Amino acid sequence: MTTLKSKLQDDLNAAIKERDELRSSTLRLTLAAITKEEVAGKKKRELSDDEVQKVIAREAKKRREAADAFAQGGRAEQAEREKAEGEVLAGYLPKQLSDEELNAIVAQAVEEARAAGAEGPRAMGAVMKIVNPKVAGQAEGGRVAAAVKKLLAG
């Protein structure tokens, strides 16, 4: 078992013992998503820590989107629950980059892409190829794309 997955399992056991309903249900759902990912495809496999982290990030994103949807639908109590679940999952993800850090990385990538001959809006793909490995797991794709578009337009 990977270290991150075993940490989730240990934290789930601790949450159950402490009768922490929010944390235990969130971790149960996350571990179920990890197991589903492991058995998807033709044969069962063990996920690496990076793959487990991607599953956790996907689950956290689902919580954020659900919280927004509930808030727009006037169900504040359910939105708060989804936000709280998202915060539990955020504890297992790497620290997110600040806007300044992200913009600095994107600016450097734009310079690299321009040096390689990419110009204008078509440079978006080239810049994203440079930026994505550097910010993997530390910034959402939408945030990265918005920063790249802003710098390419400006």
Per-residue pLDDT reduced to its tens digit, 43-93: 888 888 888 888 888 898 899 999 999 999 999 999 999 999 988 988 888
d(CA 134, CA 94): 13
- Residue pair 88/22 in contact by the 8 Å Cβ criterion: yes
- How much is the pTM? 0.75
103-149 pLDDT, tens digit each: 888 888 878 777 777 676 677 777 777 887 787 777 777 787 888 78
Closest CA to 120 of 82, 71, 154: 154
